[in-house]
Amino acid sequence: MNQHLIALYENLRLASRPHHWSVLWRDRQETQPSTFSDDEHLAAAVSWLCRAQDAVEGGVSAGYFFKRGWMPPYPETTGYIIPTLLAVDQTDRAIALGEWEIEVQLPSGGVRGGIGLNDYPIVFNTGQVILGWTALYRATAEERFLTAAVRAADWLLDIQDADGKWTRHTYLDAPRAYHTRVAWPLLEVHAATGEKKYRAAAEHFLQWLKTQRLPAGGFAHMALEPGQVPITHTIAYTLRGLLECGLALGPPSQDELIDLLSSDLQQLLTAQQAQLQAPPARLPAALDENWGSRARHSCLPGNAQLAILLLKLHALAPAQTADFAHAAQTLIEQVKAGQFLTNENTSLFGGVPASAPIGGAYVPYALPNWGAKFLADALLLKRTLPALKFQAKP
């Protein structure tokens, strides 16, 4: 009975707010390319992230959900929003988030799982907050941030499986290929401390991951749940983590991983050529083992994440990866088309829907904080590559 009442309340809230109506109507129309500049989109995304921080007492709200309003803070994504805020000179806000993460860190050193302040730790979430603490340590040289990162890293080492993967303190006790984004922060701790055990643990995970390689590229266990088709959000998590690990490890691992990633992304681009065009085209949210479409909706955070990866690889080898640059621009344009820049409601303006259309299967009717974060990161990265001067293909 309670579940029925909750569902009734959520549906009434979705339909009864006037500022939702224009959104629901917009999704009934064909998506149009944005007419705003990259700088306008970036400023709007950052302002929305700041409002998401102000919406809660500590941390960053998980997002604005049409059926519930502003959600409680999300320790995981709060952690990796910290580097974004540092990059746009919101240092005081970033420090406040890092301090809050220290306050709510579990006695074990792990980071709380889920939205809100839950009492259980999760491996992936812990890695993402380490990225925030190490970024703050580099920016401020304050030892408290490194101390928190080391405590978290030591917990990760304590619970790592004998073969290098993590299954304890993971959702459904299953391994994840996107724990590359746990290996990466361990390498950040190694860089900050010089302690070889953190590098060894990261390399141990990467050795396990090699055994999960699929024939057409990619890896097993890239999905949110066992047996599911992976979404672009977790595919990009996996591949970005690999790239950052390679860059941190240096040759020969760096060259091997860059070659692998370039091959995978080239296959993805080839398989999805028709969807990698300017809006109203959109990349499907889920991709099968042959990089084929398995969804009718698009995952906008995943699009932004893939754009970041493509831009980073393009910067490493510009002459060989012009198609990566064009694909990245196209994906950014698809996300920009979904971001709210004409709705003046402060809960919506600057936010990025999880799905396009917004009622799609991935976090429906929601503006999660990681959507605005990854769009901001993509636009910041694009800004550093002015020599590209490319446009989305018509």
Q: What is the pLDDT of residues 340-382, one digit of tens each?
A: 998 889 999 999 999 999 999 999 999 999 999 999 999 999 9
Contact 302, 354 (CB under 8 A): no
Same domain, residue pair 345 and 273: yes
For 83-130, how does the pLDDT look when each residue is reduced to its tens digit (9 = 90+)? 999 999 999 999 999 999 999 999 999 999 999 999 999 999 999 999
Task: Name the nearest CA neighbour of 163 among 196, 127, 210, 110.
Answer: 210
Q: Which of 183, 212, 241 is the last residue of a domain?
A: 212
246 is a domain residue: yes
Q: What is the dihedral of CA 374, 297, 23, 305, to 10 degrees?
A: 0
Summarize the confidence of residues 277-282 as an average pLDDT: 90
Same domain, residue pair 183 and 229: no
Summarize the confidence of residues 143-147 as an average pLDDT: 99
Task: Quote the pLDDT of residue 390.
Answer: 45
Task: Quote the pLDDT of residue 87.
Answer: 99
CATH of the domain at 181: 1.50.10.20
For 224-247, how does the pLDDT look when each residue is reduced to its tens digit (9 = 90+)? 999 999 999 999 999 999 999 999
Q: Tell me, what amino acid is at 30?
A: E
Task: Quote the pLDDT of residue 353.
Answer: 98
Task: Name the nearest CA neighbour of 293 among 236, 352, 232, 219.
Answer: 232
Same domain, residue pair 275 and 349: yes
Task: Quote the pLDDT of residue 93.
Answer: 99
**Three-state secondary structure readout of 182-231:** HHHHHHHHHHHHCCHHHHHHHHHHHHHHHCCECCCCCECCCCCCCCCCCE
Interatomic CA distance for residues 57 and 94, integer angstroms: 14
250 is a domain residue: yes
Same domain, residue pair 207 and 227: no
| Alpha-carbon distance values, 194 to 129, 156, 187, 200 (Å) | 20, 17, 10, 12
133 is a domain residue: yes
Task: Quote the pLDDT of residue 320.
Answer: 87
Is 41's pLDDT higher than 90?
A: yes
Interatomic CA distance for residues 286 and 219, integer angstroms: 14
Interatomic CA distance for residues 354 and 7, integer angstroms: 20
Task: Quote the pLDDT of residue 8.
Answer: 66
Q: Which domain holds residue 380?
A: 42-57+223-384
Q: Mean of the per-residue pLDDT values for the chain? A: 94
390 is a domain residue: no
68 is a domain residue: no
Same domain, residue pair 109 and 128: yes
pLDDT band at 387 (very low <50, low <70, confident <90, very high): low
Is 32's pLDDT higher than 50?
A: yes
Q: Which residues contact 82 (CB under 8 A, 6 or more apart)?
A: 94, 97, 98, 131, 132, 133, 135, 136
Instruction: Give CA angle at 294 (290, 300), nearest 5°.
Output: 105
pTM: 0.95
Same domain, residue pair 378 and 248: yes
Same domain, residue pair 207 and 135: yes
Same domain, residue pair 162 and 304: no
Task: Quote the pLDDT of residue 158.
Answer: 99
For 184-194, how does the pLDDT look when each residue is reduced to its tens digit (9 = 90+)? 999 999 999 99
101-113 residues labelled b (16+ CB within 10 A) or e (exposed): bbeebbeebbbbb
Interatomic CA distance for residues 284 and 73, integer angstroms: 29
19 is a domain residue: no
Residue with tokens 């590229």: 217
Backbone phi, psi, residue 37, to 5°:
-75, 165
Contact 268, 230 (CB under 8 A): no
Q: Which of 153, 186, 212 is the last residue of a domain?
A: 212
Task: Quote the pLDDT of residue 27.
Answer: 77
Same domain, residue pair 150 and 228: no
Q: What is the dihedral of CA 227, 230, 234, 238, to 10 degrees?
A: 90
> Hey, CA dihedral for 339, 342, 343, 346, is it positive or negative?
positive
pLDDT band at 394 (very low <50, low <70, confident <90, very high): very low
What are the structure tokens assigned to 201, written together? 């643990």
Contact 217, 184 (CB under 8 A): no
Same domain, residue pair 161 and 245: no
Same domain, residue pair 232 and 357: yes
14 is a domain residue: no
Summarize the confidence of residues 308-325 as an average pLDDT: 94
Looking at the structure of the chain, the number of domains it has is 2
Backbone phi, psi, residue 212, to 5°:
-105, 10
Summarize the confidence of residues 209-223 as an average pLDDT: 97
Summarize the confidence of residues 78-87 as an average pLDDT: 99
pLDDT band at 393 (very low <50, low <70, confident <90, very high): very low
Same domain, residue pair 114 and 164: yes
Q: Which of 212, 240, 255 is the last residue of a domain?
A: 212
87 is a domain residue: yes
Pairing mode of beta strands 63-65, 366-368: antiparallel
Complete edge-to-edge strand list for the sheet that includes strand 69-70: 69-70, 63-65, 366-368
Task: Quote the pLDDT of residue 181.
Answer: 99
Q: Of all residues in the chain, what percent are helix, strand and coil, respectively (each to 5)?
A: 60, 5, 35
Task: Quote the pLDDT of residue 388.
Answer: 62
